[in-house]
């Protein structure tokens, strides 16, 4: 292991930058025509859905490489309602090109939610499902079309994960 670290430490900075450029581009200019956004279950600083929201916003900023994903969708608005953040103000901040860590610091600096509130909300949003018959019918139709034998799709997070997977060639 020490040998691997020594080898990395001797790499010219130019090569390190060249090898990290694709990661940088993916992180800051997401192309959702090539891969789905992160799952709404993925958390950043305790906030579920925040990484997905950032991916969609970055794809929007990159010039429409959103493949049908929408920034400020109903699930995004759940995040904005909870945090009290304005979606346009947040989009302007994302346009500055900050990393996930920098965006988390910005979110924390602009909301007054406690860690326990964030945990509780994140737990809720990943388990939240449709409340009315129309929502249940929509989920049932989507599951039937993509994975008819599945009986474990109960929440919007479950449905989004399934949809992301089959939209990029997976078999439900």
Q: Within this chain, do residues 119 and 156 fall inside the same structural domain, yes or no?
A: no
- pLDDT at residue number 108: 97
> Do 53 and 79 meet the contact criterion of CB atoms below 8 Å apart?
yes
10-59 confidence digits (pLDDT tens): 444 444 444 444 444 444 447 888 889 999 999 999 999 999 999 999 98
Q: Is 5 part of any domain?
A: no
| Domain-located, residue 33 | yes
> Do 48 and 110 belong together in one domain?
yes
CA distances from 32 to 74, 84, 103, 145 (A): 19, 27, 20, 22
- The total number of structural domains that make up the chain: 2
Note whether residue 98 is domain-resident: yes
Q: Are residues 112 and 166 in the same domain?
A: no
Which pLDDT score, from 0 to 100, does residue 65 have?
Answer: 67
Q: Do both 117 and 133 map to the same domain?
A: no
- pTM, full prediction: 0.79
More confident residue, 124 or 3: 124
Query: 65 and 146: one domain?
Result: no
Domain that holds residue 158: 129-172
């Amino acid at each position: 292991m020490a040998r691997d670290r020594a080898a990395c430490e001797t790499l010219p900075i130019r090569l390190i930058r060249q090898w990290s450029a694709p990661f940088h581009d993916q992180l800051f200019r997401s192309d959702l025509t090539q891969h789905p956004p992160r799952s709404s279950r993925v958390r950043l600083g305790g906030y579920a859905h925040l990484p997905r929201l950032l991916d969609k916003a970055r794809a929007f900023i990159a010039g429409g490489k959103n493949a049908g994903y929408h920034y400020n969708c109903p699930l995004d608005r759940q995040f904005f309602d909870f945090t009290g953040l304005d979606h346009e103000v947040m989009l302007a901040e994302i346009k500055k090109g900050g990393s996930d860590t920098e965006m988390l610091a910005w979110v924390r600096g602009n909301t007054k939610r406690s860690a326990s509130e964030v945990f509780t909300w994140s737990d809720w949003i990943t388990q939240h499902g449709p409340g009315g018959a129309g929502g249940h019918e929509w989920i049932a139709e989507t599951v039937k079309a993509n994975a008819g034998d599945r009986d474990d799709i109960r929440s919007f997070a479950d449905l989004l994960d399934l949809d992301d997977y089959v939209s990029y060639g997976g078999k439900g």
